Structure 1
């Protein structure tokens, strides 16, 4: 069985309703690149918009023309309606495709385009108004026979009113922003005493992400599955659905791996009947607001009672995970969005929809799963996203190019890897193979974590629910740097130092040349966990096997062979290891293998001494009193005052970066000294607060006193 269509290269233009001459893509990243690809296939001129941070971005390079719309902050660029409208006028754009996020569900934007005589490639203002507000949409669709989750959904409720209503909803419950999406601002609350703090955080995140801090409460459905239905609707009254997607593999309400169709429905004797029911409910939700274009209706489905499903929200835009539907349905959803917006009629009826095979998508993020998924930044030094042998069954939608500097101003999702197979097992195998060959050196990514999930027994068996990742994460075994990686990094550094230096004569070479026996050379490497290792190399890397010793261990035989740009083979004591390697010229080596990657720091004498002193100055196991920002960002909240007595684990500072809020807590009890305030722009590793332990704590941690606390 072969994939129904390769939508990584959309179909050539076909006759029918005249399309637009120029379309502006009001977005960035991988979705902008994906939309531009279809516009090109349709013969439509594309316009990219960009902020200062994205001047060299891939979507800017791939569009036919581009316009700068402002500085890096999204509020001043991608969310600036006036700037986008000016770009439309400058380029003669007849229509705007909003992608997802940013202005894609903004009714004011759609209205402004309408007033300017520019087509919005999306639904009408009525649908945006109703479905863009979760409270309004929930109450609205309930009147059209669509089942909804029990809860309290009234606009304008204060924290006190929500807390009072919570008792009626019951615990555990879920706080949700009315204007939001993507899981931002959503918080599960188990106990009444935890509600006030969670409400405050949810309001702050909602206001920052969506410009609206309205919240509502829903009963938390235990062991739920997140299943959504893709709909298409035109201006001629035709509404169809293209089956469902399973999106239950989530972390913090953010989807990680999605697939189509749902294994829950596929494995049930009455799965086809449930698919028809949930599909019709989705179509009714679309009909209720005269929806046009592509949209997604999201449902919570009980794992224990799959015939029970509840409306959560309707996303009035393209979804991140739309490629899995494209691969099993054999359609280009962006093409249909464009055709419908141009007035075209759906030529597909519900009876024409056939789902072929299975497709799975994994979202690739710049983040560090081992560090609570801390977002990361960096420059792409080596990139290979579609390994040889995966073409045809694997598609990659990406924003990356070599040399790109990843900004902390935007969401950390970089790309999506989508695989198709004749059945679910084949699709998961294809995805795992693709992820094993995915290389993006210079950035810390979640690719290894994705492979661990794809190969988890419960995932393979289709036993999914939205809490599965949270339960599995503590038991995931992440790969660590071993001797082979240290040796490969050291030999790669030495090979780079030796290359091209022979013409300067032996007295200028740095390969340990001397009369008589060669001198060993030492490379000091810093590891991702803050540790150090010394690799001693005797011999010339370029001329054959050398002798290596790690941290003074016995000599071992090694050789390094270059197999292609950035690709090397290491032979160590007869064992073969393959790596992707890149060096950034500033003392950092990036190494990758089978989806895993790491950074090794080549330590100068000063850097090595600094690490040694840091280890000596603090007793092993003691907490670091300094509270540092994990990455560049903005301080959004400081809930304590300078000089306050704080408890270990108490939140001291909240930093927002890559559209996520990170709460930094006190490492120990003591008196806090603050060096940051709300609104501050901070750098990675910048000290934002210091906790001075109380006298008793100091005595307890002082090895010279001999006294306990």
Structure 2
């Protein structure tokens, strides 16, 4: 049989996964076709592909989820096959069927596997019939809320409510008592309908303090099924994976063999073809006891850790299998080399409850010595239309301790200026004693103290205070160690200092001593530093990076952390102090403001209604996350937005007046 693959492949995705697939296509000499929405006209994956085709406006429903547009792009570009990546249409049986009708190979499993494993209810019943252990629970399909409540009581609390369709933790709700059930059902249905077009729910017994372990499988059309060992994906927040590693620190050879056998049996039961992942819950105190959760019939976000420890390119294997070739790897050929850990970098604000962030990446710099799969580069726009993950930083070492150290150093050297990210949180997480010991469970992150932004270092404060007159709006520079020695040097005179007030992103002010000679001394040093920044050596890479945004904030990366700082004039510093004093003495504001940019997906009370402190007023969705905005006090509600409105961060959504005003009375 010939090893001929494809001449042209369309990548039906965006961001880092599109770039990653394109990379393998280029390595294999296969022509790559990118698709893009209006929001991604200038995205890196569009430029890196051989051909790019527009498929619609920014909304995913009108572009990346538009089956007809994607298939039309494949036909137009002459693609013989489509790689769906993950998310979007990767597990959509209608998409696979439409590709087949158009004579295009869908790089994924057949319709039966997509149909059975794409529904949590059907897949659970199916694998149970093949002796794979499952978690106790029930399908809520066709049930009323009252009948669901009765069945929930029989199953026993706590329960996990989750959409039957889709994956990635979207829509999952933890319910600990009957009183929480109705709200959880409504939220899960709303997210499921918006994300997957199907609001059918599945309720399962919540296993406390579990580990989440998954097994990578490969299967061809010639009856061969193998596994590539397991990945530990236990460190999650809101059911979204944050850190993944391979192999698991608690899985020994015996458990690995049992997990692998169960995963291969699940895949074989649906005549699986391609790369897939079978996910299990493992009891925290009994790693030899595991339960099937679901099968993801696609490539996983965390596939790089498996690639690094096995040396196998999973995208290449997908292409070979889709082309009808038999697996060239036997189970005995799979060997694990060292340890790999992946950290997901999200555009979000950990200190503000992990709210999604959006904006322009003023500067991006990946760390050296590790694998970084990134969706962004300097100048990229991160919008609220898509998932907040902007990069994956993956370290590979001889053992777990070495890999954790490599990952921490890499995160410290990763520069993202212009938008908030979770990098500081990731470093805090992997430094936790339990994480270092491998004592993990899916609730570990929730038990950590609330994240606080690190205090700006002396270097960061000095750069902010000294550089205020130098930087123009939107400017970006990288600097060497010269910034660390700003001392007010002037020709023929002793250094003279002045005090500058610097505001940090948490509202605190810092008095910083800087040279009083303006920017003349800084410019001289900056010239040397800027010249050094063109050097690709490790020393040049390690220097501070600085950018300014349109609102006058300086984004400064130095000493392994990023800070957003604003130098204040004397008048601005005085105004800030007065504003803080007034805010401390003022009553609670009647204005409810958007905590993040996004879309209004629900209004929980009618205009003019009387509400109580803590009531849900508005729910905003951005980057596949929902956030409720609550009433600050008792009063009468006046709404300023409607369902479907796109809102900016800090935009006024509603007013809650202590007494009915003329507008409320008129309504």
TM-score (norm. length: structure 2)? 0.90
Residue 454 (str. 1) matches residue 440 (str. 2): no
Match of 1:424 in 2: 400
Match of 1:100 in 2: 86
In structure 2, which of residues 436, 455, 462 is the aligned counterpart of residue 487 of structure 1?
A: 462
State how many pairs are aligned.
Answer: 636
Match of 2:298 in 1: 317
Match of 1:527 in 2: 504
Residue 396 (str. 1) matches residue 372 (str. 2): yes
Match of 2:627 in 1: 662
Instruction: Give the 3-state SS of the residue equivalent to 2:227 in structure 1.
Output: strand
Alpha carbons of structure 1 residues 168 and 671: separation in structure 2 relative to 1, 3 Å: same
Shift of 1:147: 0.5
Alpha carbons of structure 1 residues 384 and 564: separation in structure 2 relative to 1, 3 Å: farther
Cα distance in structure 2, aligned partners of 1:394 and 1:71: 35
Cα distance in structure 1, aligned partners of 2:658 and 2:103: 64
Q: Calculate the aligned-residue CA RMSD, in Å.
A: 2.7
Assess if the C-alpha contact under 8 Å between 1:131 and 1:137 holds in 2.
Answer: yes
Shift of 1:524: 5.6
Assess if the C-alpha contact under 8 Å between 2:590 and 2:657 holds in 1.
Answer: yes
For residues 111-164 of structure 1, the C-alpha deviation after alignment (integer angstroms, 9 at most, x for no partner) is 000000000000001100000000110011100011100011253333332222
Match of 1:64 in 2: 50
Assess if the C-alpha contact under 8 Å between 1:394 and 1:418 holds in 2.
Answer: yes
Instruction: Give the 3-state SS of the residue equivalent to 2:305 in structure 1.
Output: helix
Residue 133 (str. 1) matches residue 108 (str. 2): no
Shift of 1:545: 8.6
Assess if the C-alpha contact under 8 Å between 1:495 and 1:541 holds in 2.
Answer: no
Match of 1:30 in 2: 16
Alpha carbons of structure 1 residues 348 and 62: separation in structure 2 relative to 1, 3 Å: same
Shift of 1:215: 0.5
Match of 2:220 in 1: 234
Match of 2:484 in 1: none
Gaps of 5+ in 2: 477-487, 534-541, 661-667
Alpha carbons of structure 1 residues 253 and 586: separation in structure 2 relative to 1, 3 Å: closer
Match of 2:410 in 1: 434
Q: Which moved more, 1:193-202 or 1:599-608?
A: 599-608
Query: Which aligned pairs between 1:75-154 and structure 2 lie closer than 5 A?
Result: 75-153=61-139
Residue 405 (str. 1) matches residue 381 (str. 2): yes
Alpha carbons of structure 1 residues 92 and 602: separation in structure 2 relative to 1, 3 Å: farther
Shift of 1:405: 1.3
Cα distance in structure 2, aligned partners of 1:621 and 1:358: 55
Q: Which moved more, 1:362-371 or 1:664-673?
A: 664-673
Residue 348 (str. 1) matches residue 329 (str. 2): yes
In structure 1, which of residues 338, 342, 358 is the aligned counterpart of residue 319 of structure 2?
A: 338
Shift of 1:257: 0.2
Assess if the C-alpha contact under 8 Å between 2:26 and 2:32 holds in 1.
Answer: yes
Instruction: Give the 3-state SS of the residue equivalent to 2:96 in structure 1.
Output: helix
Cα distance in structure 2, aligned partners of 1:409 and 1:204: 17
In structure 2, which of residues 356, 368, 371 is the aligned counterpart of residue 375 of structure 1?
A: 356
Cα distance in structure 2, aligned partners of 1:96 and 1:622: 58
Alpha carbons of structure 1 residues 113 and 414: separation in structure 2 relative to 1, 3 Å: same
Match of 2:664 in 1: none
Residue 297 (str. 1) matches residue 272 (str. 2): no
Query: Which aligned pairs between 1:231-310 and structure 2 lie closer than 5 A?
Result: 231-265=217-251, 271-310=252-291
Cα distance in structure 2, aligned partners of 1:467 and 1:677: 35
Cα distance in structure 1, aligned partners of 2:571 and 2:626: 34
Alpha carbons of structure 1 residues 437 and 563: separation in structure 2 relative to 1, 3 Å: farther
Cα distance in structure 2, aligned partners of 1:364 and 1:518: 42
Instruction: Give the 3-state SS of the residue equivalent to 1:174 in structure 2.
Output: strand
Shift of 1:580: 2.0
Instruction: Give the 3-state SS of the residue equivalent to 2:26 in structure 1.
Output: helix
Cα distance in structure 2, aligned partners of 1:562 and 1:150: 66
Alpha carbons of structure 1 residues 484 and 647: separation in structure 2 relative to 1, 3 Å: farther
Cα distance in structure 2, aligned partners of 1:273 and 1:517: 72
In structure 2, which of residues 637, 654, 664 is the aligned counterpart of residue 672 of structure 1?
A: 637
Instruction: Give the 3-state SS of the residue equivalent to 2:198 in structure 1.
Output: coil
Q: Which moved more, 1:629-638 or 1:605-614?
A: 605-614
Alpha carbons of structure 1 residues 278 and 682: separation in structure 2 relative to 1, 3 Å: same
Cα distance in structure 2, aligned partners of 1:280 and 1:422: 27
Match of 1:581 in 2: 546
Match of 1:445 in 2: 421
For residues 594-653 of structure 1, the C-alpha deviation after alignment (integer angstroms, 9 at most, x for no partner) is 442122245579976875564354334854332111222110001112232322222110
Shift of 1:582: 1.5
Match of 2:191 in 1: 205
Cα distance in structure 1, aligned partners of 2:532 and 2:116: 53
Instruction: Give the 3-state SS of the residue equivalent to 1:263 in structure 2.
Output: coil
Match of 1:10 in 2: none
Shift of 1:691: 1.9
Cα distance in structure 2, aligned partners of 1:49 and 1:292: 25
Alpha carbons of structure 1 residues 428 and 519: separation in structure 2 relative to 1, 3 Å: closer
In structure 2, which of residues 598, 616, 634 is the aligned counterpart of residue 633 of structure 1?
A: 598
Assess if the C-alpha contact under 8 Å between 1:21 and 1:44 holds in 2.
Answer: yes
For residues 309-341 of structure 1, the C-alpha deviation after alignment (integer angstroms, 9 at most, x for no partner) is 000000000000000000111100000000100
Cα distance in structure 2, aligned partners of 1:603 and 1:589: 11
Query: Which aligned pairs between 1:526-545 and structure 2 lie closer than 5 A?
Result: 526-532=503-509, 537-540=514-517, 544=521
Alpha carbons of structure 1 residues 311 and 425: separation in structure 2 relative to 1, 3 Å: same
Assess if the C-alpha contact under 8 Å between 2:108 and 2:322 holds in 1.
Answer: yes
Alpha carbons of structure 1 residues 491 and 68: separation in structure 2 relative to 1, 3 Å: same
Gaps of 5+ in 1: 1-14, 266-270, 388-392, 500-510, 547-558, 569-576, 696-709
For residues 165-198 of structure 1, the C-alpha deviation after alignment (integer angstroms, 9 at most, x for no partner) is 1001111110010002111100111111110011
Residue 171 (str. 1) matches residue 157 (str. 2): yes
